[in-house]
Amino acid sequence: ITGKPMKIEWSSNWDDNLGGSTRYGELDPMVQKTRQKASEKVKFAFEQTFMFYLPRICEHCLNPSCVASC
């Protein structure tokens, strides 16, 4: 109304996926629970995927070409 620039601190909820902005999203108990379950699932999948034997001189690449010759 005055024509002066405004400092926008809050807006419409077009970016409110969880009932609040990212500032409040981490306080949501469902987000915390989901994040914990996801991190456990990723951790277990990583441990199962990368637990294999390679010789000591191997550089442990993610896609080693030397594995075929071992």
For the chain, give every domain's residue range.
16-69
- pLDDT tens by residue, 12-66: 665 555 555 566 667 778 778 888 888 888 777 766 665 566 566 666 677 777 7
DSSP code at position 56: T
**pLDDT band, residue 1 (cuts 50/70/90):** confident
Query: What's the chain's length in residues?
Result: 70
Cα distances (angstroms) measured from residue 52 to each of 13, 48, 64:
48, 9, 13
Whether the CB-CB separation of 18 and 28 falls below 8 Å is answered with yes
Confidence (pLDDT) at 15: 55
